[in-house]
Chains A and B, each alone.
Chain A
Amino acid sequence: MSDFSNSLQTAVSGMRAQSTRLRHVSENIANTDTPGYRRKIMNFEQVTKDGAKTGEVRSAGISLDRTELTRIFDPAHPMSNEDGYYDGSNVDLVVEIADAREAQRSYEANLKMFEQTRKMSSKLLELLRK
């Protein structure tokens, strides 16, 4: 039974990490038009407990995308410089959508593992029912 609760816990940690990733993606999309906003990237890492890897996963904080900010020409904008340009964000919506879709797929895979493990353990418990 401990193997089952282990795999349930691992699957849950995967789902939690993927939903954190999705949250950062939605932050990026919401800030597409914020001047000077840099895209956030979430990193994954394995959880270690007392020096040993537990097999679970968690988010290892975020890092900022270092690509150039887009320069937008709009002389009427209050932040524009003398040439009429200001720094926009470096969010690319297509990349964000692809990232969100990948997070969704990984979440589904973890969810499937969860369901399957639950099915197996309920089959085991059925033996005791009679």
Chain B
Amino acid sequence: MFNNLEIFRSAGAMARHAAQRQSVVAENIANADTPGYRTKDLTAFEVPADDLRNAMKSTRGTHFDPGSRTTAASIILGDQSGLSPNGNSVSLESEMFKSIEAERQHSRAMTIYKSSLDILRASLGRR
């Protein structure tokens, strides 16, 4: 664990993803009355490939480069059902749900980060 602190990076990526999603949801809610606005969402969170223990290693030049796999979340169009007459597809209920999900993901990431930090501190003999 201490050679390579990948858990911190994973937790950080998770928190960043949650923050990004929250930002997308805020945009949707602000535009809940804008004519022609289409609901947006973010792709699901994935642990960055090089943080995984069993990640592919390239030991020869001809090997597939594992770093080339992108794990950055991208913005996609959300559920487009329930289009209102002015062409707006935002549903406040499902946006609320998405924002709660983002908040829980964020607090989970923060908890993981904090408890890993506590373990690290304990191993240094500090409290």
Instruction: Mark A residues whose CB is within 8 Å of B.
Output: 1, 3-4, 6-8, 10-11, 13-14, 17-18, 21, 43-46, 55-57, 102, 105-106, 109-110, 112-113, 116-117, 119-120, 123-124, 126-127
B20, B30, B33, B107: which has the most chain A beta carbons within 10 Å?
A: B30
Contact with A along B1-31 (1 / 0, CB 8 A): 0000000000000011011101101110111
Chain B contact surface mostly: helix
Q: With A124-B15, A124-B110, A127-B113 in contact, is A117–B96 under 8 Å at CB?
A: no
Cβ contact within 8 Å between A123 and B27:
no
What residues of B have a CB within 8 angstroms of the CB of A55 in the complex? 23, 26-27, 30-31
A124 to chain B, nearest CB (A): 7
Chain A contact surface mostly: helix
Question: Size range of the interface on B?
Answer: 20 to 34
